[in-house]
Chain A
Amino acid sequence: MTTTTPSRVDAPADGEDVSFWSATRLVAEREVRMFLRTKGFWIGLAVIVVGLFAAAVLPSLFGGGSTSVATVGPEAARAVAAADFDVRAVADADAARDLVRSDEVEAAVLPDPAGTLRVVALSEAPTEVVSALSASPPVHLLEPGEVSPAQRQLVILVFALVFLMVAMGGVAIAQGTVTEKQTRIVEILVVTVPVRALLAGKVLGHTLLTLGQVVVIAIAAPLALSMGGQSALLGVVAPALGWFVPFVMAGFVLLSGMWAVAGSLVSRQEDLGSTMGLVMMLVMGPYFLVMFLSDNATALAVLSFVPFSAAVAMPVRMFVGQAETWEALMSLGLLAVTAALIIVLAGRIFSGALLQTGSRVALARAWRSSE
C-alpha cells in the first residue's frame, strides 16, 4: 500500500525539480482550461463577433433599396431611365402627387408647363433624384478616399472597442490572483514553484486566451465585410488588421503584468477596486483619447508612440494612411520593450506582495520585501 520508495526519501539530493518553464506552462495551462469553461468568456467573444457582422451586413440590408420615383409622361421617364431608380409611370400629376403624399414613392418627376421637368417631393429635396436630373461638373480627386467618413469612424470605433475588451480581459488575472491569496492556495503554490513562474504562467495563459479571441475577431471582420459587400473598405481594413493583432497583443502583455500586481496587493476581492484604478485608467484613457482625437493627426501621432495608447492609436493611423511602416515597427518595438520591462518590475512586486495578507500592501513595501 505504501507508495513511497525509501531511497527517494533518504536522498538528500535535489531530485527531480520542475523547471521554471514547465511550471510556467502548467500554470498557463490551468488558467486557459479554467477560463475556457467560464460562460463569460464565450459570451464576450460571441457579442463581439455578432456585433461585427451586424455592423458590416445590416447597413447594406436596410439602406440598400433603390429610390422609388413616379414619372408622368415619356420625357420624365427618359430623364430618370439612366439612373438606378425604381420607376413607376403614372397617368397624371395628381396621381403622382398622391403617391408622394402616401409615401409610396420618394419623389415624382412631372413635365413642367415651362417645357422642362419638375421634381415633387414631400418635405425635403430628394438629393439623388435632383443630381440624376442635373448636369454635374466632372470631379477629379487628387487623393481619393476609399472609405467614407462614417466608415472611418466605425472602423476606429471597432478597433478601440476590441482594444478595450482585450485590455479589460486582464481583470481576470487580477481576480485570479486575489482568489489564490484569499483561499491561501498561494502558500502551497509558492512552496511548489517559483513565484515568478506563477506570474509568467498567468501572463502566458491569458495572453494565449486573448490571442485566440483576437484571431477570431481578425478572421471574422474580413468575413463580415465581404458578406456585407464592403470590399472597398475591406481592402483598407485588412492591412490595418494585420498591424492591429501584434499591437493589441503587445498591449495586452504590457497591461497583464500590471493587472497581476493589482491582484497581488490585496487579499480580498472586495478590495480589488482600490488597486485596479490605475490600470483601469491606463485602459480607458487611451480608448477615449483615440476616439476623441482621431481627427487630430498630430495628437494621434503622439498617442501612437506612447506604449499605453500605441496598441490602438498606431493601427488606426495605419488604417487612415497617416503612418509609414517604419513608424509602426518602431512603435511596436517600443511597446514590446516597455511590456518586457513592466513584466520584470511586476515580477518583483508580485513576489514581494503575494504572501502578505491582511490589509492592502503598499507598492514600496512589496518592492522592498522581495528578495
Chain B
Amino acid sequence: MGMLTVSNLSRSFGDHRVLDDVSFDVRPGRMTGFLGANGSGKTTTMRIILGVLAAHGGTVAWHGRAMTPAQRRRFGYMPEERGLYPKMKVGEQIAWLGRLHGLSDTDARARTTRLLEQLELDNRADDRLEELSLGNQQRAQVAAALVHDPMMLILDEPFSGLDPLAVDIVLAVLRDRAAGGVPVLFSSHQLSLVEQLCDDVVIISGGSIAASGTREELHDRYGTTRFELVVDGDAGWVRDQPGVRVVSVDGPRALFEPDAGGERRVLEAALRRGEVRSFVPVVPSLEEIFKEAV
C-alpha cells in the first residue's frame, strides 16, 4: 500500500473531462515520476491531491485514511507556474514560508541557510527573487517546497528550465529527502530525463492512467528486450537462426528480439563462427515504453 493513495479521481472543466478514474500509489522513500504529455492531467491531479482544486469524484488518502487539510499543510508543493514574491529577499522569503508552516523563527532561518547551501544558492540569499536568473529562481522554488521538512513532496515539473548541473544539484537534494522516507511525486514531460531519476513510474494519458509500477516492472511488461550482436564478419546469418526475429542487420551489427533462450543459441552460433565483439541486451527506453503504453 502506498503512503499516498489516489483512488478513482475524476474532474471536468465544463464539458471537458480532464481526469477519468485516476488511481495510483506513491510509496515512501521512492521517487515517483508522473509522466504525461502536456495537457494530459498531471497538474490537475497534483492540484487535487493538494486540495487546491476540488475533485468531482474519487479520494486522496494518506496512510489509508482520507487526507485532512492539516496533513496537506505539511506537504511540500512546487506549483507548475512558479511563484514567489518577486520583491522579497530569497532567504527572508523562504524562512517566512517555513514559519508559515509552523517553524520557529530560529529553526526557519537555520533550515533556510542549510537548504540554500545544499542548492548552492547561499550566495544569493540576500538578493531579491526578481534579481535571480530563472534557473536560480527555480532553485529557490525548490527550497520553498522543502524548508519545512515536508512529509510528502509534490513537485510539478521540477526540472524544467534547469541546466544539467542544476538538475544534478536539485536531484541530489530530492534523493536525500526520499532516502529519509519522504515520498516524492514529481511530474515531467521530459521522459529521457525522468528515466534516470525515478524509482516508480505513473504514466497518464488523456486523463487516464495508462500504466504504473516500478521502472523495472514497466520494462518487463512493455519492453520486449532486444539484443545487439557485433561480430567480425557480416552478421546476416542471424536472419537464418530459429526463434529469432531480426530487427535490423547493418554489416557486422545485428539487432534482434529472441524467443525464450533464443539469444543463447545466437551467441553460441556466433562463437562457433568466429570472434564476438559485443553481445548486449538493449533495454527499451522509457520513451518507447511510454509510446507503447499510451
Contact = CB atoms under 8 A, between A and B. Distances in A.
Are A and B co-members of a single complex? yes
B81 interface: yes
Contacts, number: 104
B63 interface: yes
A10 interface: yes
Given A1-B176, A187-B47, A191-B72, 6 more contacts: A12-B71, A27-B100, A30-B96, A182-B83, A185-B83, A188-B77
Interface string A94-117: 000000000000000000000000
A8 B151 contact: yes
B111 interface: yes
A184 B73 contact: no
A179 interface: yes
Contacts of B75: 191
Interface string B161-191: 0000000000000001101111000000000
B101 interface: yes
Contact of A193 (B100, B145, B179, B181): B100
A185 B85 contact: yes
B77 A191 contact: yes
Q: 5 tightest A-B contacts by CB?
A: A184-B83, A183-B83, A4-B180, A14-B70, A12-B63
Contact of B68 (A8, A14, A180, A186): A14
Interface in B41-69: 47, 50-53, 62-63, 65, 68-69
A28 to B, nearest CB: 12
17 contacts: A2-B176, A3-B114, A4-B177, A4-B181, A9-B182, A12-B62, A15-B151, A18-B101, A183-B84, A184-B83, A185-B84, A187-B52, A191-B51, A191-B73, A192-B97, A192-B100, A193-B100
B149 interface: yes
Contact of B180 (A6, A14, A15, A188): A6
Residue of B88, B100, B101, B111 with highest tally of chain A CB at under 10 A = B100
B158 interface: no
A289 interface: no
A190 B69 CA distance: 10
Interface residues of B, number: 45
B96 A26 contact: yes
Contacts of B69: 194
B99 interface: yes
Contacts of A16: 102
B59 to A, nearest CB: 15
Nearest to A355: B52
A79 to B, nearest CB: 71
A18 B100 contact: yes
B83 A10 contact: no
B79 A184 contact: yes
Contacts of A17: 70, 73, 102
A9 B179 CA distance: 12
A23 interface: yes
B219 interface: no
A34 interface: yes
B2 to A, nearest CB: 13
B82 interface: yes
B258 interface: no
A100 to B, nearest CB: 64
Interface in B201-246: none
B83 A192 contact: no
Interface of B: 28, 47, 50-53, 62-63, 65, 68-75, 77, 79, 81-88, 96-97, 99-102, 111, 114, 144-145, 149, 151, 176-177, 179-182
A78 to B, nearest CB: 73
Given A4-B149, A6-B181, A179-B85, A191 B52 contact: yes
Contacts of B65: 12
A188 B70 contact: no
Contacts of A193: 73, 100
A309 B146 CA distance: 48
Contacts of B87: 34
Contacts of A182: 83
A188 B77 CA distance: 7
B43 to A, nearest CB: 10
Contact of B181 (A9, A180, A189, A355): A9
B180 A2 contact: yes
Nearest to B68: A14
A18 B73 contact: yes
A90 to B, nearest CB: 70
A15 B181 contact: no
Contact of B86 (A3, A4, A8, A183): A183
B105 to A, nearest CB: 10
Contacts of B28: 9-10
Contact of B177 (A2, A22, A179): A2
Nearest to A1: B176
Nearest to A357: B81
Contacts of A184: 79, 81-83
Contacts of A189: 100
A34 B88 contact: yes
A23 B50 CA distance: 19
A155 to B, nearest CB: 38
